[in-house]
Structure 1
Amino acid sequence: MKNLVKGAVLAVGLFAGLQIASAQQKIGHLNADEVFQATAEFKAAQEQLKTLGETKQKELDGMIAELQKKQKEADELMNNQSPANKAETETKLQALGQEFQQLQTRVQEVQKVAQDDVRKKEQELMTPIQSKLMTAINSVAKEKGYAYIFDIGSGAAVYYDGGEDVTADVKAKLGIK
């Protein structure tokens, strides 16, 4: 009978201890954007994207300069039009108008392709960084025994009071000082 009572008390004690232990899960938070932007890979990716953007912009600027040249040429023809050269001027203006339209369409197409190229390159460069960040966060969470880590930078945690900020731990895991 004594053993039965001791067993029951022990079982109740273990059950209560498990309930308390499960109720005390560790919760942490970090600003993932801050960590993401602090990585060397992000900074290198930003430089690559900046260079790509500048290259695409130079190409567009050249095409826009050509458009402006055609517009100026048309303006000059209009200003120099006389009754004697009216037919010839109108023919030239029509040809310039068609060239202008074609060039304008090309500019729009090149602009769209440039935006798509930059967007694709951004995704290509940022996806591995995001993956590396998630791996570091998961590693820190497992090492430190966190049940939850909220990203306070994205607004995912509407309210938090306390918890431990693991931003520094994740940065350390990624080798960021």
Structure 2
Amino acid sequence: MMNKIKTLVVAFLLISFASFAQSNDQPLKIGYTNVEYILLQLPESKQIESQLKDHSTQLENQLKNKYSEYETKLQAYERGAPTMDKTIREDKEKELMSLNTSIQEFQRNAQQSLQQKEKSLVDPVIAKIDKAIKDVAKENGYTYIISNQALLAGPEDGDISPLVLKKLGVDPSKAQTTAEPAAKPATPATPAKTPAKTPAKSNTKKKN
């Protein structure tokens, strides 16, 4: 989940950090924070990880069922192919190729489903962090808030992360110094193999 969250956070950083209008007699005040760090301190981060794991497990189990069905039918085909009537053999081959196509399509759809699920879970939390950052900036007179990932140097008191965490109901003193990366959902298995379209009876190989 960590890498995907980073992608979402980067997109957020590009469009969301805003300037706050100041009158000419007020000095320029710049603060910085790290949205990814804040996100991983929130209880929602663990909830997102858990829900993504559950969703991924459901998809994986369905894929395993499909692959198991394919393997069973493939093995039966390989055992019986040498003695099968041509019409029956061709029908079995079509069935296996159809199952293989179904497995590959399910893999593609599963990846998309997992990405959509993650986005639906992360986006509302990012929006909440965005609001908290802007509120802290306004309350403390900051002209700009930038990402500390783009900061080469700056004063420690420019870091508004503790103020943002407090605004979000998290005790800054209990925040992790380095957030643990969330577990990445497993990638679906590789596509099933496809039988030869018209295997010769005498050359059909037994599956290992």
1:58 and 2:58 correspond: no
Q: C-alpha displacement at 1:168, in angstroms?
A: 1.0
Question: Which sits farther off after the overlay, 102-111 or 69-78?
Answer: 69-78
Superposed CA deviations along residues 60-105 of structure 1, whole A, max 9, x for unmatched, are: 0110111111221222124xx3xxx4xx354333222111111111
Deviating runs (4+, > 6 A) in structure 1?
none
Distance 2:100 2:162 in 1: 51
Distance 1:50 1:31 in 2: 25
Unaligned runs of 5+ in 1: 1-17
Amino-acid identity (%) = 28
Distance 1:158 1:90 in 2: 70
Name the structure 1 match of 2:48.
45
Name the structure 2 match of 1:92.
88
In structure 2, relative to structure 1, the CA distance for the partners of 1:30 and 1:158 (3 Å cut) is: closer
Name the structure 2 match of 1:138.
134
1:111 and 2:94 correspond: no
In structure 2, relative to structure 1, the CA distance for the partners of 1:173 and 1:131 (3 Å cut) is: same
Alignment of 1:10-49 (within 5 A): 22=26, 24-49=27-52
Distance 1:108 1:136 in 2: 43
- Indicate the SS of the match to 2:96: helix
Distance 2:107 2:170 in 1: 37
- Indicate the SS of the match to 1:146: coil
1:169 and 2:172 correspond: no
- Give 1:125's aligned amino acid: L
Distance 2:124 2:109 in 1: 24
- Give 1:111's aligned amino acid: Q
TM-score by length of 1: 0.75
Higher share of residues assigned helix: 1
Distance 2:136 2:151 in 1: 22
Name the structure 1 match of 2:10.
none
Q: Decide whether the 8 Å contact of 1:32 with 1:151 is kept in 2.
A: yes
Q: Decide whether the 8 Å contact of 1:77 with 1:89 is kept in 2.
A: no
How well do the aligned residues superpose, as a CA RMSD in angstroms? Answer: 2.0
Unaligned runs of 5+ in 2: 1-22, 172-208
Superposed CA deviations along residues 91-127 of structure 1, whole A, max 9, x for unmatched, are: 3332221111111111122222222222222121111
Name the structure 2 match of 1:72.
75
Distance 2:147 2:107 in 1: 35
Superposed CA deviations along residues 30-60 of structure 1, whole A, max 9, x for unmatched, are: 1110101221122212211110111011000
- Give 1:159's aligned amino acid: L
Q: C-alpha displacement at 1:158, in angstroms?
A: 4.8
Distance 1:69 1:160 in 2: 62
Structure showing greater radius of gyration is: 1
1:159 and 2:152 correspond: yes
